[in-house]
Structure 1
Amino acid sequence: MCVENTPPPSSKLTRRGILAGAAALAGTTAALAAAAPRTAAAAESGAQRTSGAGQATTGDLVIEGGTLLDPATGEVTEDAVVVIVDGIVHAAGARSRTQVPDGIEKLDAQGSWILPGLVEAHVHLNTAAEARDAVRQGATSARSGSTNFYQDIAVRELARQVPQLAPRLQAAGVFVSPDLGDTILADPDLTPLAKLKDGVRSHEALRRVVEINLARGADVIKTRVNERAGLPEQDPQVQVYDREQLSAVVDAARRGGKGVLCHSYAEKGCHDAVMAGVRSIEHGAFIGEHTLQEMKRRGTYFTPTLSAMAGMVDSPDPILAERGRTFLAAAKERALAAHKMGVPLAAGTDSSGGKIKPIGREVELMREAGLPALDAIRTATTGAAKLLGLEGKAGRLARGFAGDVVLVDGDPLADVRVLKTPKRVVRSGVAL
């Protein structure tokens, strides 16, 4: 069956209905309703403010007395002050050189290290509860790895209205994959694809799924080139799309002004994805030097998701446990090789299924792979922020950047593991 002559994605009214269903599934509607009385009371007291109906809740806050780390430069400032006004950093630096406005709530950071909120480059946020867990573990910005029913788009809207409930999120919508499974039920515009004998494989069908995602408001497109590692019945070395098919996905995304992240494991699949023009390779346990060189030349990012592979090691399924051990060792080696070659790296946990891993765990594994501590931290700050197009907003605490902060007990340059358990998180100027 050809889908070339099907109508364009449905009207705004249908889009609203679909996304209302996604919000109900994600629980974001209930989360917003529960947050409304609290944010109204905080706004009345002057601790927070809202910019108007449907706009973000932000805060004014002075964080003082801790040790500030700037991941961009590596500069360490003792007895530092960070001034946040209306959710944006107004000033950051040594107390002796930073003017502190009167009448702003203060947060004592004595004994703590102050870092920018962390950036999670690959996570599956299906619910408001998962989003809350991610931000409370320090991930104040994130990129979705797709959801089955557009729940990530609902979570993104939750973050825009009440930032304290979710990371600033780039939503991927639904996965561009040969077998859409139950995702067919997410959208009436997807249902004609159920009749395709070979699944979503033709260039027309691939473009169609991308166009529907864009019509529903996706910020980025997620596709695959290999089967899954987390299912014992699948072989992650098996390729499901060739370079031409991947190029069809990339071209359709580019027409909408969006980039593509690609689930990949085998060297040939990774190389085909890079040559097709994807923005980032996800997983990439067996990516080769030739492909890494091409990634460096193109500026293609590598998100090795080491946490996901480490999570398989203790699986009761012997296939997955062995796969976890083999893939984790290989991916660590590839991450270090990429770093040494100058391939940009981003930290992503690939968390899904209701359990959100701390993004600090991915930094820990990057360090274990052999990256210097500061460079490991950069994969979850400046590096990931650039991948997400947030280099002027996230990843640092400097004037004009988002007022997203993590406080940790201990020096992360001496032991990055402190990032796994933030002492305090500030999102958009509001301390959680």
Structure 2
Amino acid sequence: MLMFRTLLAIAVAAIATPAAAETVVIHAGRLLATPGAAPLEKQTIIVRDDKIAEVRAGFIDPAAVGADGRLVDLSQQFVLPGMMDLHAHITMRLFQPRPGRITDSVTMRPADLALRAAVSARQVLLSGFTTIRDLGAPHDVIFPLRDALNAGMFPGPHIIAAGSMLSRTGGHGDPHLLRPELRMHIEDYGKPCSGVAACREGVRERVADGADVIKISVSGSGSDETGNASAEPDLLPDELETIIATAKSLNRRVAAHVTSTKGINAAVRAGVTTIEHGTYADKESFALMKQKGVILVPTTYVSVFLDKPSIQAGLKPEEWTFLSAAIKRARQLPGEAYRAGVKIALGTDAGGDLDANRAQELELYVQSGLPASEAIKTATVNAAEALGMSDRLGQIKPGFRADIIAVTGDPLADVKLLSTVDFVMKDGRVYKSGGQPTVQP
């Protein structure tokens, strides 16, 4: 794997030669430079190469900033930073019942998955999401895909990737549904761990394979008894502490899949960075999260695509009983967490399904009680903080990455507008303008 990534890096360097330096001058009718603050009227954004160089009041003549200045006229539109989805599975199709997802894992070759994911990545970018954090995919697919996308070899968002999830033996993430001789082939689930030594080694293996972030499972899912409100944590305290200490020693953040109340509280006390799902968080959970500075990624959108007859048909009756309760709770969670003062970052749990509407996560936040301004923060400022990238993502200001989107109308008044993005720029390059792609597949 290491040799493969080295060869890929050489190939990327050879193919993705930098374009000639260019200055782009964007006239923004309204600019939400820092979500959470008031938008500014009639602003000029100056982009040089892949960074934002300046933001000036008024509409500046491109000729005033240099002979190479090129105007992008968004003077009739609302401009804001590119959105981020911190819980994605770009290599998977999650809108299908469980049997289909398992079949994909054992019948599709890595190249098949990568090519399918590349098509999905383009769609994700064109929908206004310029960065995603992928929290579960085969190592031999997601890391080469990440490297190619981050190098700009083809259209798609920046990817921060975890590879496979680290879970306890027999827990959520261990492919125990399969015959033993097949389990080793389901790399998106990965090798589970039991005991301190194995869990420490599990973190080190994932970082050696290329993981940017460590994803762990601290409970089952919403469709089984090990993920319900009263379930005990999947990992023991010493295992949790070892995972987090090892990740910290390797400068990696930890994202915890967890739904049960006890599991959430154990993960927060141990020092994870983000709580993924957090379905049955209670008042104590919220207080702990505030105290520890842990960010909640509610993945409320998963409640929309799971609440379908086609998904229900793939579940046992008892699984649907658990899942239907989790879906109801998921719709209430963002508003409760916000009112308790917990910081939220957007994550959808969406796969590479081409019809996925990631911005619907924002609508669900607003429906549960967040103001639209706060919902937009979850996809920008708060997401950047969760990634440890507040110095380069989530705002439109000098020195930040030139990831910019625009819509017609005011998303602060109607957040649904972010489901139909008109303009997308990533790293200073325009991928969508006037609602149409500018770069073909």
TM-score, structure 1 normalization: 0.80
Aligned counterparts, 1:29-428, within 5 A? 48-49=19-20, 60-96=23-59, 100-126=65-91, 127-162=117-152, 165-177=155-167, 178-179=169-170, 180-181=174-175, 184-185=184-185, 200-229=193-222, 235-237=226-228, 238=231, 239-316=233-310, 317=312, 325-352=324-351, 354-355=353-354, 357-428=356-427
C-alpha distance in 2 between matches for 1:331 and 1:176: 24
Residue 98 of structure 2 aligns with which residue? Answer: none
Letter in 1 for 2:411: P
TM-superposed CA distance for 1:226, in Å, is 1.4
Letter in 2 for 1:131: A
Unaligned runs of 5+ in 2: 92-116, 176-181, 432-441
2:211 partner SS: coil
Alpha carbons of 1:102 and 1:358: their partners in 2 closer, same or farther (altered >3 Å)? farther
TM-superposed CA distance for 1:86, in Å, is 0.9
Letter in 1 for 2:71: K
TM-score, structure 2 normalization: 0.79
C-alpha distance in 2 between matches for 1:287 and 1:360: 24
After TM superposition, the structure 1 stretch with the greater mean CA deviation from structure 2, 140-149 or 294-303, is 140-149
Contact 1:148 1:175 in 2 (8 A): no
Letter in 1 for 2:50: G
Letter in 1 for 2:47: I
Unaligned runs of 5+ in 1: 1-13, 50-57, 194-198
C-alpha distance in 2 between matches for 1:356 and 1:171: 22
C-alpha distance in 2 between matches for 1:183 and 1:383: 37
C-alpha distance in 2 between matches for 1:60 and 1:322: 56
Q: Report sequence identity in percent.
A: 27
After TM superposition, the structure 1 stretch with the greater mean CA deviation from structure 2, 216-225 or 166-175, is 166-175
C-alpha distance in 1 between matches for 2:243 and 2:183: 18
| Number of matched pairs | 384
TM-superposed CA distance for 1:19, in Å, is 8.0
TM-superposed CA distance for 1:282, in Å, is 0.4
2:4 to 14, 17, 20: 17
Letter in 2 for 1:291: S
TM-superposed CA distance for 1:315, in Å, is 3.5
Contact 1:71 1:377 in 2 (8 A): no
Letter in 1 for 2:161: A
C-alpha distance in 2 between matches for 1:352 and 1:272: 28
TM-superposed CA distance for 1:290, in Å, is 0.4
TM-superposed CA distance for 1:376, in Å, is 0.5
After TM superposition, the structure 1 stretch with the greater mean CA deviation from structure 2, 144-153 or 375-384, is 144-153
TM-superposed CA distance for 1:150, in Å, is 4.5
